[in-house]
Amino acid sequence: MMVIAALGALALSEYEEAASVAFLFSISEYLENRATQKARIALDDIVHLRPDRANLLEDEGGSGGGEHVEIVSVEDLEVGSRVSVRTGDKVPADGVVISGSSQIDESSLTGEARPVDRKEGDSVSAGTINVGLTRLIVRTTSSSEDSAVSRLIRLVEEAQSNRSPTEKIVDSFARSYTPVVVGIALIISTIPWLIGGKEVGRHWTLNGLILVVIACPCALTISTPVTYAAGLAAAAQKGILVKGGAKLEALGCVRTVLFDKTGTLTEGKFKLKHLETVGNSKTREEVLRLLATMEAPSSHPLAATLVDAAKNEGVKMSDANGRPLLLDDHTILRGEGVTAILDGHKTYVGNVRLFQRLGYYQNLHPSHQKAATQWNEEGATVGFLGIDTLGIVAMFSVCDSVRKEARHVVQSLQAEGIEVIMLSGDGDGAARAVGKEVGINAEHIHSQFLPEDKLHFLANLQGYGAGRKKMVGGGSVVCSKQNELMLLCGDGVNDAPALAIADVGVAMGEGAAVAMEMGDVTLMDCNLEKLLFCMRMGARVIVTVKENIAISVVSKLIVTILTFCGKMSLFGAIASDVGVMLLVSVNGMKLLPGGGFCCLKWRRKYTEVQTQYNEDADIV
């Protein structure tokens, strides 16, 4: 369209106008690239997190001197390789520290500026940086392609191509209205020559060329993608991965938030609070040995607590004769506990639901039932150990601490008019205790939920909300769902079915593979403040997109009116197009920290400094 306008101006001998069109359009492309460069840099920084090389230790003897170190490509690393991570080096692949103690900068994954301590036995993630003073030796537990940072990169690239409905509507509108305006401009440029002579024809041809310039949808089409790119980049810099503009837009439409309890509102780090034997068949030491043996193969946080409790009391995983207990057919009972054949006896460890189903709980002495109820009302999670020939032989309780930011996040959501609901698989007492501590109303607390119960609850809630809105407002179901979307925040493992059907599924798990793959939004660590940040970012994105569309459309209308009033030139039309395009670009870039394009030079310089000195963006 700019070429048409320039050639038309040349045909009318308006050489200055033709030159202005070509020059200003070139300037507009340059300014567009400058204005969007910061968003591209922010996303490219994530894509370049993956290290290129690794220091492979070839020998298997110790971590002392004399080791042979070979620099290899990270793609050549195999699972189980030993690598040296010196001060300033990036961790080449996910792994476990087997020697050394240092500090790791995990801001590339979590967005947190403060380095964390890592010592022997701790896990480290690829792309993080050793900023301490000690070398670490790490044994890799995944290949470079399966590492957390590689999955993050793939999902960021996928997010950039996942366009929102608003972007698609704007592009569709631009494709439709542009040929219409060009057709009108063609009529204006030809018919006056036939009915009004040369002077009238020249005047209206120039107006037609101005309309062609006005029809150029640069500002309109750039107004939405630059805003979404800035929003996605700002979230990624905070350690939040949003899978595309559609999910970012949905975050701003959430009116109901459902939280899982364990590992989401709470730390998921249990401590053994009570342990009582039932009857005289087993001693405390024997009970701890049975519990540790049963829970050792399980990945549930509660299992690790019982294993650690046995170790802390010096209980070994073998009998008095040093013979290890024989464990067969270990099975997880979803929402209930675990079962296995232990030394030839069917053994169970689980909650009250499991033992009520087995019929063991009903035979428990009333005093023990009363104690279990009291523990539950105090906010602890109660469990039992049972053997098929003996019934319940022990009962225990573990407690979990609430995340320090959970209450503030819940109250902030409620203050913004968002309904907050908690779903838990624990008993009523534990669920109510946590709900009270974080500020969730009792009627919004649902306990003793299996994973499928969460799925059905969310499905019913979604159907009811959409139907109610349709009856009241008379609008379409699609529009009502956009106004009353539901968000589920869970750990990405036990809540997988419900996360899959939620309008927006937010997975937490400190960069765990399942968490990143399952959620629409992934918090790379477990800080709930980031949930608040990304929801507010979604709302800001929606407002900014509306602002940009309004600016683009209103400016086109003003220029069109001025054209038909004889107050507009080609130079003025192209200048207004460039100005509006620049305005919507900068308006979209305000979502980035230090938004706008005035700081691009310093951003580029910072990227170089960060690579060399491992500085943090907020500190700089």
DSSP state letters, 377-424: HTTPEEEEEEETTTEEEEEEEEE-PBPTTHHHHHHHHHHTT-EEEEE-
In order, the DSSP letters of 197-241 are HHHHHHHHHHHHHHHHHHH--HHHHHHHHHHHHHHHHHHHHTTEE
Q: CB–CB of 370/419 below 8 Å?
A: no
Indicate if 443 and 584 belong to the same structural domain.
Answer: no
Going by pLDDT thresholds of 50, 70 and 90, the confidence category of residue 606 is: very low
Going by pLDDT thresholds of 50, 70 and 90, the confidence category of residue 34 is: low
Indicate if 500 and 550 belong to the same structural domain.
Answer: no
Indicate if 394 and 275 belong to the same structural domain.
Answer: yes
Report the C-alpha gap between 201 and 208 in whole angstroms.
Answer: 10
What pLDDT, on the 0 to 100 scale, is given for residue 258?
92
Indicate if 29 and 172 belong to the same structural domain.
Answer: yes
Domain count of the chain?
4
Going by pLDDT thresholds of 50, 70 and 90, the confidence category of residue 428 is: confident
Least confident residue range of 193-197, 263-267, 278-282, 463-467? 463-467
Going by pLDDT thresholds of 50, 70 and 90, the confidence category of residue 410 is: very high
Indicate if 418 and 483 belong to the same structural domain.
Answer: yes
* Residue 620 or residue 216, greater confidence: 216
Going by pLDDT thresholds of 50, 70 and 90, the confidence category of residue 179 is: confident
Q: Does a structural domain hold residue 63?
A: yes
pLDDT at 470 over 80: no
Question: From residue 616, how far is each of 92, 111, 113, 523 by CA, in Å?
Answer: 20, 10, 6, 19
Q: Does a structural domain hold residue 504?
A: yes
Last residue of a domain, one of 399, 418, 446: 399
Indicate if 294 and 385 belong to the same structural domain.
Answer: yes
Q: Does a structural domain hold residue 203?
A: yes
Least confident residue range of 256-260, 297-301, 487-491? 297-301
Question: From residue 158, how far is each of 126, 224, 517, 592 by CA, in Å?
Answer: 20, 18, 12, 20
Report the C-alpha gap between 213 and 145 in whole angstroms.
Answer: 48
Report the C-alpha gap between 183 and 561 in whole angstroms.
Answer: 18
pLDDT at 341 over 50: yes
Q: What is the mean pLDDT of residues 589-613?
A: 50
Question: From residue 210, how far is each of 6, 215, 282, 566 by CA, in Å?
Answer: 10, 9, 92, 11
Q: Does a structural domain hold residue 7?
A: yes
Report the C-alpha gap between 205 and 189 in whole angstroms.
Answer: 4
pLDDT at 554 over 70: yes
Q: What is the mean pLDDT of residues 538-563?
A: 87
Q: What is the mean pLDDT of residues 4-26?
A: 75
Q: CB–CB of 591/230 below 8 Å?
A: yes
The CATH number covering residue 350 comes to: 3.40.1110.10
Catalytic residues: 260
Percent of the chain with pLDDT over 90: 9
**What are the tens digits of pLDDT across the range 136-161?**
999 988 776 666 566 656 655 565 55
Tokens for 249, please give them. Answer: 């837009």
What pLDDT, on the 0 to 100 scale, is given for residue 303?
82
Going by pLDDT thresholds of 50, 70 and 90, the confidence category of residue 601 is: very low
Going by pLDDT thresholds of 50, 70 and 90, the confidence category of residue 183 is: confident
Helix H or strand E segment including 262: none
Percent of the chain with pLDDT over 70: 78
pLDDT at 482 over 50: no
Q: Does a structural domain hold residue 376?
A: yes
Report the C-alpha gap between 298 and 234 in whole angstroms.
Answer: 37
Average model confidence (pLDDT) across the chain: 77
Report the C-alpha gap between 188 and 181 in whole angstroms.
Answer: 10
Q: What is the mean pLDDT of residues 58-67?
A: 55
Q: Does a structural domain hold residue 161?
A: no
Tokens for 134, please give them. Answer: 């000690």
Strand pairing of 485-490 and 504-508? parallel
Q: Does a structural domain hold residue 583?
A: yes
What pLDDT, on the 0 to 100 scale, is given for residue 217?
73
**What are the tens digits of pLDDT across the range 490-530?**
875 567 777 778 888 888 865 445 545 667 888 877 788 98
The burial of 320, by beta-carbon neighbours within 10 Å (0-12 exposed, 13-18 middle, 19 or more buried), is given as: exposed
The burial of 565, by beta-carbon neighbours within 10 Å (0-12 exposed, 13-18 middle, 19 or more buried), is given as: exposed
Q: Does a structural domain hold residue 234?
A: no
Q: CB–CB of 212/493 below 8 Å?
A: no
Strand pairing of 419-423 and 254-260? parallel
What pLDDT, on the 0 to 100 scale, is given for residue 608?
43
Backbone torsions φ then ψ of 390, nearest 5 degrees = -120, -15
Report the C-alpha gap between 620 and 602 in whole angstroms.
Answer: 10
Q: Kindly state the DSSP code that residue 263 receives in the 8-state scheme.
A: I
Q: What range defines the domain where residue 248 resides?
A: 240-266+403-524
Going by pLDDT thresholds of 50, 70 and 90, the confidence category of residue 414 is: very high
The burial of 440, by beta-carbon neighbours within 10 Å (0-12 exposed, 13-18 middle, 19 or more buried), is given as: buried
Indicate if 118 and 91 belong to the same structural domain.
Answer: yes
Indicate if 172 and 28 belong to the same structural domain.
Answer: yes
Q: Kindly state the DSSP code that residue 324 receives in the 8-state scheme.
A: B
**Predicted structure pTM score:** 0.66
Least confident residue range of 161-170, 402-411, 558-567? 161-170
Q: CB–CB of 228/243 below 8 Å?
A: no
The burial of 346, by beta-carbon neighbours within 10 Å (0-12 exposed, 13-18 middle, 19 or more buried), is given as: middle
Of 215-229, 292-306, 503-517, 533-547, give the range with the top mean pLDDT.
533-547
Indicate if 562 and 588 belong to the same structural domain.
Answer: yes
Q: CB–CB of 338/331 below 8 Å?
A: yes
3-state SS class at 267: coil
Going by pLDDT thresholds of 50, 70 and 90, the confidence category of residue 81 is: confident
Q: CB–CB of 343/330 below 8 Å?
A: no
Least confident residue range of 134-148, 160-174, 435-449? 160-174
Indicate if 261 and 288 belong to the same structural domain.
Answer: no
Tokens for 511, please give them. Answer: 């960069």
What pLDDT, on the 0 to 100 scale, is given for residue 76?
78
What pLDDT, on the 0 to 100 scale, is given for residue 319?
65
Indicate if 355 and 382 belong to the same structural domain.
Answer: yes
Report the C-alpha gap between 103 and 100 in whole angstroms.
Answer: 10
The answer for residues whose C-beta is within 8 angstroms of residue 436's C-beta and 6 or more apart is: 442
What pLDDT, on the 0 to 100 scale, is given for residue 347?
92
Indicate if 71 and 6 belong to the same structural domain.
Answer: no
Going by pLDDT thresholds of 50, 70 and 90, the confidence category of residue 429 is: confident
Tokens for 593, please give them. Answer: 């920290």
The answer for residues whose C-beta is within 8 angstroms of residue 163's C-beta and 6 or more apart is: 225, 244, 245, 246
Least confident residue range of 275-289, 336-350, 421-435? 421-435
What pLDDT, on the 0 to 100 scale, is given for residue 394?
92
**What are the tens digits of pLDDT across the range 536-546?**
999 999 899 88
The CATH number covering residue 461 comes to: 3.40.50.1000
